Amino acid sequence: MAVYRRPARTRFTLLLLVLTSITLLTLDYRGAGSGAIATVKNGARDAFAPVQRTSDKVFEPVGSFFGGIVHYGDLKAENDRLRQENADLRGDVASSDDARRQLQELQDSLKLEGTEDVPRVDARVVSTSPSNFAFTVEIDRGTNAGVAVGMPVRTGAGLVGRIVTASRNRAVVQLLTDKDFSVGIKLSTSGDIGVANGRGSLRSLDVDLIDPATVVEKDEKVVTSGLQQSQFPPGIPVGTVKSSTSRPGALQQDVAIEPYVDLRRLTFLTVLQWSPK
């Protein structure tokens, strides 16, 4: 058996490449060159936008064709369920109009902040995260449409996440289940406040700082607290309590909540042009 001997040039190439990447990593990490790397990243994202649009047009019908065949039965069942839900919601809308008017009057008289009159930008989701280690989606609106880093993102159902990158025509939304995401929340029944943290799964969030004495019910509604310095305005629905356990001697309960929004099937999102006061 011949012994393979590595030529010296190879090791030199590897060394050069490793040193280059470590240099780039350090530069980006320190934000040196007044964000030169960020500028390049934003440029790449904007440049890629037309390619993405074209490919979506080409592949969308293929996806929905196969989806249609496989899930026909499911779709029929879902249709029936949605029709029922629609009827229920129509009833709710009628009663909520009155409630909303009352809320508005009370907020006005108490000078409380609501999210009703925050300007908003509607956007469409164009792609999901290219990485398996981040929970993000990309939307088709950027700084040109008034989207900026830090803005909260929601759908009609509830909180989706926040903007982490914004280039001219594109922005990246960090979903509330991302490991780096946290939001101040309030339990709707007890009024107890806590902090919900993403944990890298699309299905649930963990809540910290809930007092062991608080009674937490299953399916209790959870909304953003919007306390001082909060990254989010108050009252955005976050999810429902999935489970809560309090271990003896612990300083807080283990509460898990399930987001209202189905994060696997995001299509249209609303960016709230809101920033912490």
Q: Which residues of the shown chain bind another protein in the complex (CB under 8 A)?
A: 1, 4, 6-7, 9-10, 13-14, 17-18, 20-25, 27-29, 37, 40-41, 44-45, 48, 51-52, 55-56, 59, 63, 127-128, 130-134, 136, 164-165, 172, 174, 179-180, 199-202, 264
Q: Smallest gap, in angstroms, from Cβ of residue 256 to another protein?
A: 16
Choose between 30 and 90: whose C-beta lies nearer to another protein: 30
Asked if residue 140 lies in contact with residue 269, where contact means CB atoms within 8 angstroms, the answer is no
As given in the structure block, the two tokens for residue 207 are 């809540």
Nearer to another protein, 48 or 195 (CB): 48
List, in order, residues 6 or more apart from 141 with CB less than 8 Å away: 121, 122, 123, 147, 169, 170, 171, 271
Q: How far is CA 62 from CA 48, 59, 67, in A?
A: 22, 5, 9
* Residue 110 Cβ vs another protein, minimum distance, rounded to whole Å: 39
Output the smallest distance, CB 97 to another protein, in A.
38
Q: How far is the CB of 253 from another protein (least distance, A)?
A: 22
- Beta-bridge partners for 125: 139
Q: Among residues 134 and 209, whose Cβ is nearest to another protein?
A: 134
**Closer residue to another protein, CB minimum distance, 150 or 200:** 200
Q: Give the helix/strand (H/E) hosting 238.
A: strand 237-245
DSSP 48: H
The nearer residue to another protein, 60 or 217, going by C-beta atoms, is 60
Is 121 strand, coil or helix? strand
> Please, are residues 172 and 136 in contact by the beta-carbon 8 Å criterion?
yes
Cβ distance to another protein smaller for residue 121 or 172: 172
| In the complex, minimum distance from the CB of residue 266 to another protein, in angstroms, rounded to a whole number | 13
Instruction: Specify burial of residue 33 (Cβ count, 10 A radius: 0-12, 13-18, 19+).
Output: exposed
Q: How far is the CB of 41 from another protein (least distance, A)?
A: 5
Q: How far apart are CA 147 and CA 165, in angstroms?
A: 9
Comparing CB distances to another protein, the nearer of 93 and 148 is 148
Closest CA to 158 of 223, 252, 110, 113: 223
For residue 10, how many other CB atoms are within 10 A of its CB?
9
Is the distance from CB of 221 to CB of 260 less than 8 angstroms? Answer: no
CB of 92 to another protein, least distance (A): 32
Give ∠ CA 208-211-216 in degrees, rounded to 5.
90
